[in-house]
Amino acid sequence: MPQLQAFNLCYQHGNGDVVFNDLSFSLTAKVTALVGRNGCGKSILASILAKQKKPSSGTVVCNSTLGFYEQMDDVNQADNLTIAEAIGLESMFNALEAINQGQVTEQNLTLLEDNWDLPERFKAELLRLGVKSTDTEILSDCKASKYLSGGQFSQLKLWALFNFFNHDILILDEPSNHLDAHGKRWLIEQINKFKGQILLISHDQELLEQAHEIWELTTLGLTQYGTCFSQYQSQKQKQVAALANKLNHVVKQQTILKAAEQLQQQKTLKRAAQGAALRKSGSQPKVLMDAKKDKASANLSSQSKNTAKREGMLNSNKQKFLSQLEQVKAQQFYLSQKDEAKHHKVLSLDNVVLAYGAQKSLTFQVYSDDKVHLAGANGAGKSTLLKTLIGEIPAKVGELYCNQALYYLDQHFTLINNELTMLENLMTYCKDLSQSTARTLLASIGFRKDAVFKHAAFLSGGEKMKLAMCIVSNIESTAFLLLDEPDNHLDFESKQLLAKSLQDFKGGFIVVSHDKYFVESIECNKIIVI
């Protein structure tokens, strides 16, 4: 019997918007990947399965212990927590400390769960992640956000989840966000070693290749593909082609029906004219002419009803296929295409040492049309460098020169005002845009009609990233972009589309990303490694 099942799940926002409806499924594969476009409700579904949210209706049945890695938007969410608290191990540390002080109670022994070597394993993991060993002396007092980068924090939370709680089922919501290449390989090893079942929510191709089964969530419901990721992609391509063929067939049938209807109208008019001429000539008895007229009217009425019924069926099928095709066809992703950037120096760093991260001095120049990949391990200081460039974090030493407006898009969408709608956010920053142009831009990233009036607070991480990219690419014609992991949170298709847009982008940018497929697709002309 499956250990995790859901029956007729529905979730509706407080404003009445339905996220998904009538979802029923059972978790059976060892690793199941849940995929879908940004905003379709994957994280909400994960929270419901983990009993952290209540569905609007429906039930979840879980007969095993379940662990949940919640999508992490910001390491600063742990500002007031110690590292041990932030990764869920505080009770174990406290139990061990109490036992060492002589309080050998059943409760403390249960909390510790025989993890007597917890401090040694903890320090070894911190060392593996590049946290200085001298810092481990004060880990019970230090704040997580002060000592850890987003990638280090993510790995520590995952390490604790995989190794200390004996869960039978794990739900992992975007676990590879913020992880560097080493961290991603480590995560894949953990997934493969785990003996229980995993529900993996991800847009990362390397992780998705580990899945034995793919579930896709759309506005049409949950579709289960009993295949690996590559076979799922192949099936999707065939599905798109089949739907396109069905839609074309319906359109052809509508054209044929319209032509037949026009021909019938012409024949009817011709017969009516002939009947009028015969009636006028008096060559036929009036009673016979009236009978013929009544019969012709009845036939015409019957044909009109049949035609209307046929038109209704074809329109219904057309809308159904259009709706299905909208869920599977390629999206768009439009970045403002400025005039060709004039080649001039934008940034110059001379022996700059960052306040945090790697302490090796940095010397380099960046030009207005450069497309730069900023690479480095978690904790090396990539985000710190970008914040140093915009003056948010002063450098320890060195000289920094900037000759152009810089716009920084961080991993946490801080430029977006959750109190405003999508349209209001875009027009607040891009004051030269007309409402019509702004709506066209939002439509190009998937937000059409009344969707532009959706408040930012209700957007998923991927939807916020799309909105933020739309803002920074249209905010100023001479802006140079600093993009800190813009591919985080984006669905698989949107990553590909964003990469293509950045490749075609006529302005310059520095981009941080750990996704090798995404970086390769951009075709950067320069790499800077910290």
One DSSP character per residue, 447-475 reads --GGGGGSBGGG--HHHHHHHHHHHHHHS
Q: Return the closest-CA partner of residue 372 out of 396, 397, 406.
A: 406
Strand order in the sheet with 362-367: 362-367, 345-353, 397-402
Enumerate residues 6+ apart whose C-beta is below 8 A from 239. Answer: 328
The whole-angstrom separation of Cα 89 and Cα 272 is 89
- Return the number of other C-beta atoms located less than 10 Å from residue 269's C-beta: 10
pLDDT of residue 433: 85
Highest mean pLDDT among 157-171, 222-236, 307-321: 157-171
The whole-angstrom separation of Cα 17 and Cα 19 is 6
pLDDT band at 243 (very low <50, low <70, confident <90, very high): confident
End-to-end CA distance of the chain: 50
Mean pLDDT over all residues of the chain?
82
pLDDT of residue 337: 54
The H or E element spanning position 213 is strand 213-218
- 115-124, 159-168, 243-252, 500-509: range with lowest mean pLDDT: 243-252
Q: Return the closest-CA partner of residue 203 out of 440, 518, 527.
A: 518
The whole-angstrom separation of Cα 472 and Cα 474 is 5
The whole-angstrom separation of Cα 347 and Cα 209 is 39
And the tokens for 511?
Answer: 């981009």
- Return the number of other C-beta atoms located less than 10 Å from residue 256's C-beta: 11
Q: What percent of the chain has pLDDT over 70?
A: 83
| Tens digits of residue pLDDT in 419-430 | 999 999 999 888
pLDDT of residue 66: 95
Q: Return the closest-CA partner of residue 480 out of 340, 338, 368.
A: 368
Q: Is it the case that residue 302 has pLDDT exceeding 90?
A: no
The H or E element spanning position 221 is strand 221-225
pLDDT band at 136 (very low <50, low <70, confident <90, very high): very low
Q: What percent of the chain has pLDDT over 90?
A: 29
